[in-house]
Amino acid sequence: MHIEHIDEHFNNRNVTELDSNYYLVGIEDYPSDNWGRFKRVVKRSLRGELFVGLWVVMREMIRFDIHTVQYPEEKMPIGPRYRAIHQMKRLWESDTERCIGCGLCEKICISNCIRIDTKLDVNSRKEVSEYSINLGRCIFCGYCAEVCPELAITHGGEYENASDQREHFTMYQDMLTPLDMMRAGTQVEFEGFGSITPHEDERVKKTPLAY
C-alpha cells in the first residue's frame, strides 16, 4: 500500500495539470544592456541579505537550543543498511567463519579491490588462506555483500576509517565477528544489500526430497 502511494506521487510528472504540485519559479529576466546590469548590481548590494543570515546566527545563539552533534564526543546512530567497512560474519550454529572462499566477491568487485587466496586444507575442504580488501580503492558499493551466497561478507557501521594505512581496517581477523560476541549472541545481521528479504520463503521453489 505504502509503496503504491509513493509510486503515484512520483509518477505524476504532468506539470501542466491544474492540481499538480508543480509551479514555475518567478525569475526576473536577465538584463540585456549595461544600464540594466548597473541597476541589478545596486539592487543586490543594498538589499542587506548578509544581515538576514547574521540575524539567524545571533537568534539561535541566544536561544541556547543548538542541534549540532558534538562529534566525536557525540555520535548519531547509523542506519542498519549503512555501507561502511566490511565485516565477516560467523555461523550461529558453530561459530566458524561463514566464508567458503567461493571468490564471487572478488569477481564482482567493480573497483577490483578484493583478493582471495584459497587452498585445500587438512580436512579436504576449501580454506581461505588469505583475504584482502584494498580500502584505498573500495567505493563501498555493496556488491560484495549482495553477491555473497553465505551472507559472510557484509558491510558494517564503522565509518571512521581515517588512518595512515587504510589496510588497518581490513585485517581478516579484525573483520571477523569476535568469538566473545558470538558467545554473547550479539552478532548483528546486516539488513542491507544481500540480506534475506522477509518473503524469501514464499519465493523459493521447494525441491522434493526422497528421504
Binding residue for other proteins, selected from 82, 84, 91, 103, defined by CB under 8 A: 103
> Pick from 53, 29, 50, 51: which is nearest to 40 by CA?
29
Task: Tell me how far, at minimum, the Cβ of 81 lies from other proteins, in Å.
Answer: 25
Instruction: State which residue, 31 or 149, has the beta carbon closest to other proteins.
Output: 149
Instruction: Please state the φ and ψ torsions of residue 133, each to the nearest 5 degrees.
Output: -120, 125
Q: Is 208 in the site for other proteins (CB under 8 A)?
A: yes
Instruction: State which residue, 54 or 120, has the beta carbon closest to other proteins.
Output: 120
Of 67-75, 85-93, 109-117, 156-164, the window that binds other proteins (rule: CB under 8 A) is 109-117
What do you get for the CA distance between the two ends of the chain, in Å?
42
Of 16-24, 60-68, 103-111, 135-143, the window that binds other proteins (rule: CB under 8 A) is 103-111
Are residues 136 and 166 in contact, defined by beta-carbon separation less than 8 angstroms?
Answer: yes
Map the footprint of other proteins across residues 41-100, applying CB under 8 A: 100
Map the footprint of other proteins across residues 123-182, applying CB under 8 A: 124-127, 130, 132, 149-150
- 115: its cell numbers: 583478493
> Would you tell me how many other CB atoms lie within 10 Å of the CB of residue 106?
18
Where are the strands (E) in the chain, listed by range? Answer: 86-88, 114-120, 126-133, 153-155
